[in-house]
Structure formats: C-alpha cells, structure tokens
C-alpha cells in the first residue's frame, strides 16, 4: 500500500478550538449539526470511526467500550489541554492550519480569551494562519446602529488592511451561502446602500432580505483579496441547518461571480468540495484557472462519504488544485481524526488507481504529497 505517513499535513480549512467550546456531549463533535440533541450523534459512522482512532492512539483494547474511550479522551484533555493538542497534532502530522475565527453563524462569537487559549494551545505545535470572514467582520466587529453604508465600507477596508499587517493572514473567506445563498449577482452601490438602510440588521436574518448588501460585500471582499494578494475562500455545499439551506448551496450558482473580472485576478477556493455537489465543485476548479477546491468538512463529519466525494474530485479536477482541510473547530479532535483518516484513505484510493493502470506508483505518491501539503503551500503562499 502507498505509504503517505511521512508527509506533513497542512489543514487548509479549519477553525479555532478550545475547551470552552466543548459544551455539548462528545459525540456531537462528529456531526455538522449545531443543535445538540436533535440527531442521534452516537450512531453516526464518523463518530464510530473516531472512537476506533482513539483506541489506536491510547493503546486501548479493540473491545474497549465507548464510555472508556470517551473517559480516557476527556481525562487527557482536561489534565493538560495544550499537551493534549500537541499529542493529537503530532500523531496526525499536522504542521499548519488555516483558521477561520469567525464562527459560529448564530450564537456567541469567540471571545478574546478563547482566541488567546487557542493561540497558546497551538504555540510550538503548528503554524496558524488566519482567514478573515466577511460576514463576521461586518456583523460582529464593525456594525453599530446608526453606522452609514459608506462608513461600514470604509471600516471594512481599513480593518482588513490593519488586520493583515498585524497577523499572519492566508485569505478572506465568505460564508454568504448561509446568509443569502450562493446565487450571487452583481449589485450597484446605490442598490446595496438602499438595501443596507432598509434590511441589514448586523446579524443573520432567516428571511434573507439583506441579500443585495451581502452580495455587494462579497464583491468588495473579492476585490480586496485580489489587491492584497490573499486567497478568497467560499463556503460551498452543506452546512449546519436550518441557517444553511442546502438548496441554495450548489457551487454552480456562483456562475456570475466566477465570471467577474475580479474573480479572474484572484485565487478562489471552493471550500468543502461543495458536498454533496462534488462534481460541480471539481468541474468549476477544472475549468477556471484561478479556482481550487478542498475536501474539508467531508472528512470530519460524513463518515466514508468523504471517500466517495473525494473520488469525484480526483477524477475531474487537476490534482494540483485539490487540498486537504478538516473544517474542525471547537473540538481539537476533528482535525486530528480527519488528518489520520484521510491520509490512510487517500493511500488506499491512490493504490486502486495504480492497480487499474491510471497512474504510475511514482505519480500516485506525488499526488499524495500535493493534496496533503504542497498544493496548499503553493496556493496560499505560506
Ligand atoms: Zn469551516
């Protein structure tokens, strides 16, 4: 079997983690759902796979009970959290993470203390690069009642400039799909200003009436990414319902955005491989020179669907445009689990392609290195 174990991993899309965000029961960590208790998390394939991964790490017997595994995990996490993070990241071979600190969509955003806790847990363990999320910047950081449209635009621009000077920034990210869908369309300054005045409330609104303003800000974010040499990440595909309406999340809906002049000048990553629209994301990445994709989220939350989804991308998208990412956040375990699982799954899938005569062994090994590490390093310039 192709051995990819020595390749350091760049997690090209994740979120900060810290003990204070481990609010719900542990099985919740392997579901995309934000509503603890609504789904039967204990019976998810992803969760069961993570339990098996833990038995390997802790040297527990194969028949160790679920309770034993979780108790062992929680004991280590609470005894010395930074040491626990170090143990997991070394085990998975993760050397860098690109981290969107703008979550969650609804509920309380991360506090300064929580971000400091994340920084101290990862110090000396892995390199962290920030992703600036447009919607969080507008809603939580900049918006105040009475602020005019012109003022929020000025603030947005100077916030990104200043943040970039003071931090290691890899990209600007939008999760506009959650707010108003991926059916982006060009909006004039006047229309955006009118919509901002009438409908923008500085928070997620279920009726999606602030779409012109949201779309306008995505355009501005894309332009700023190009100007500052940053990558532009777009959340595509599934996310936690009900905020995320899967009917609005097909990356194909980005047609008008991808054909703007700004898009032609900027590297764009369709995050999460558009799951379950993997072929669409892969096809767009294959046909627009500046468009890339990563398989984050599928590898953490969707059990072995990660493999079927990855095959679509591998078959259609050039191999130098595909990146690994976990979409882990809150719990440190998700990125650890995703990296270990995907490294093995990728080796197995590439083996099959070699057996069928599609690739030489040497080329398969090259793909492994590109997807786990080299592509993210090159695309994000880190
Ligand atoms: Zn994410």
CATH code at 299? 3.20.20.140
Q: Residue 296 Cα, ligand 1 centroid: separation in angstroms?
A: 8
Ligand 1 center–CA 328 separation, angstroms = 7
Instruction: Tell me which residue has tokens 């703007």.
Output: 260
Distance between Cα 327 and ligand 1 center (Å): 5
Average pLDDT over residues 310-336: 96
CA of 102 to the centre of ligand 1 (A): 9
The predicted structure's pLDDT at residue 335: 96
Element (H or E) spanning 89, and its range?
A: helix 81-92
Question: How many Å lie between the centroid of ligand 1 and the Cα of residue 286?
Answer: 22
In the sheet with 268-271, reading across from the earlier edge strand, the strands are 9-14, 94-100, 127-133, 169-174, 231-235, 268-271, 291-294, 322-323
Q: How far is CA 346 from CA 60, 129, 215, 342, 379, in A?
A: 25, 25, 36, 6, 20
CA–centroid distance, residue 174 to ligand 1 (Å)? 10
In a domain, 3, yes or no: no
Question: Does residue 202 have a pLDDT over 90?
Answer: yes
Q: What percent of the chain has pLDDT over 70?
A: 98
Residue 165 neighbours by CB under 8 Å, 6+ apart: none
pLDDT band of 38, cuts 50, 70, 90: low
Average pLDDT on 250-267 reads 98
| pLDDT the model gives residue 162 | 97
Please state whether the peptide bond connecting residue 104 to the residue before it is cis, i.e. omega within 30 degrees of 0.
Answer: yes
322 located within any domain: yes
CA of 109 to the centre of ligand 1 (A): 14
| Distance in Å, CA 315 to ligand 1 centroid | 24
How is residue 275 annotated by DSSP? Answer: T
- Distance, CA 234 to ligand 1 centroid (Å)? 10
In a domain, 120, yes or no: yes
- pLDDT of 34 over the 70 cut: no
- For 93-120, what is the mean pLDDT? 92
- Mean pLDDT of all residues in the chain? 95
Cα(236) to centroid(ligand 1), Å: 10
User: Is the pLDDT assigned to residue 39 strictly greater than 70?
Assistant: no
* Interval between CA 37 and ligand 1 midpoint (Å): 21
CA distance 132 to 166: 13
Is residue 4 domain-resident?
no
Over range 30-58, report the average pLDDT. 85
For residue 35, what pLDDT band results from cuts at 50, 70 and 90?
Answer: low
Residue 170 belongs to what domain range?
9-380
- C-alpha torsion angle, residues 210, 188, 293, 176 (rounded to 10): -10
Residue 2 maps to a domain: no
Of 111, 253, 229, nearest to 170 by C-alpha is 229
Assign 37 a pLDDT band (cuts: 50, 70, 90). Answer: low
> Rounded to the nearest whole angstrom, what is the distance from the C-alpha of residue 247 to the centroid of ligand 1?
19
pLDDT in tens, 334-347: 999 999 999 999 99
Domain count, the chain: 1
Which of 16, 26, 3 minimizes the C-alpha distance to 76? 26
- What average pLDDT does this structure show over 153-160? 98
Dist. CA 19 → ligand 1 center (Å): 18
Q: Would 152 be classed as within a structural domain? A: yes
Measured in angstroms, how far is the CA atom of residue 75 from the centroid of ligand 1? 27
Q: How far is the CA of 14 from the centre of ligand 1 (A)?
A: 6
Q: Whose CA is closest to 152, among 141, 163, 165? A: 141
Domain-located, residue 114: yes
Q: Please, which residues have CB less than 5 A from ligand 1, an ion?
A: 327
pLDDT-based confidence at residue 29 (cuts at 50, 70, 90): confident
Residue 1 lies in a domain: no
Helix (H) or strand (E) holding 223: helix 211-228
Rounded CA-CA distance 365/319 in Å is 12
Answer yes or no: is pLDDT of 103 > 90.
no
pLDDT tens, 57-77? 999 999 999 999 999 999 999
pLDDT computed for residue 26 by the predictor: 75
The size of the chain, in residues, is 382
Query: 288 C-alpha to center of ligand 1: Å?
Result: 23
Residue percentage of the chain with pLDDT more than 90: 89
- Cα of 79 to ligand 1 centre, how many Å? 28
pTM: 0.96
Is residue 260 over pLDDT 70? yes
């Amino acid at each position: 079997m192709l051995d990819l174990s020595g390749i350091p991993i760049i997690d090209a899309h994740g979120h900060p983690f810290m003990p204070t965000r481990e609010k719900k029961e542990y099985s919740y960590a392997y579901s995309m759902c934000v509503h603890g208790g609504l789904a039967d998390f204990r019976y998810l394939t992803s969760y069961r796979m993570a339990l098996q991964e833990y038995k390997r790490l802790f040297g527990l017997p194969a028949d160790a009970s679920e309770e034993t595994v979780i108790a062992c995990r929680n004991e280590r996490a609470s005894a010395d959290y930074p040491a626990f993070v170090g143990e997991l990241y070394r085990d998975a071979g993760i050397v860098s993470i690109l981290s969107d600190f703008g979550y969650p969509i609804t509920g309380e955003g991360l506090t300064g203390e929580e971000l400091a806790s994340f920084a101290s847990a990862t110090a000396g363990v892995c390199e962290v690069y920030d992703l600036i999320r447009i919607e969080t910047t507008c809603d939580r950081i900049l918006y105040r009642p009475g602020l005019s449209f012109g003022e929020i635009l000025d603030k947005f621009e100077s916030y990104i400039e200043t943040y970039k000077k003071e931090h290691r920034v890899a990209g600007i990210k939008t999760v506009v799909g959650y707010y108003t869908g991926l059916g982006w369309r060009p909006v004039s300054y006047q229309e955006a200003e009118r919509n901002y005045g009438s409908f923008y409330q500085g928070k997620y609104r279920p009726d999606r009436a602030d779409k012109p303003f949201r779309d306008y800000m995505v355009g501005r974010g894309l332009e700023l990414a190009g100007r500052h040499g940053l990558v532009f990440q777009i959340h595509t595909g599934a996310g936690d319902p009900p905020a995320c309406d899967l009917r609005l999340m097909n990356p194909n809906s980005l047609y008008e955005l991808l054909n703007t002049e700004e898009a032609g000048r900027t590297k764009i990553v369709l995050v999460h491989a558009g799951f379950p629209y993997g072929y669409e994301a892969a096809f767009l990445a294959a046909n627009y020179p500046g468009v890339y994709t990563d398989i984050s989220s599928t590898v953490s939350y969707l059990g072995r669907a990660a493999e079927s989804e990855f095959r679509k991308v591998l078959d259609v998208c050039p191999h130098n445009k595909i990146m690994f990412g976990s979409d882990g956040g809150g719990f440190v375990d998700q990125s650890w689990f995703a990296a270990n699982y995907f490294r093995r799954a990728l080796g197995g899938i590439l083996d099959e392609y070699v057996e069928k005569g599609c690739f030489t062994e040497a080329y398969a090994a090259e793909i492994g290195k590109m997807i786990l590490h080299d592509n993210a390093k090159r695309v994000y310039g880190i």
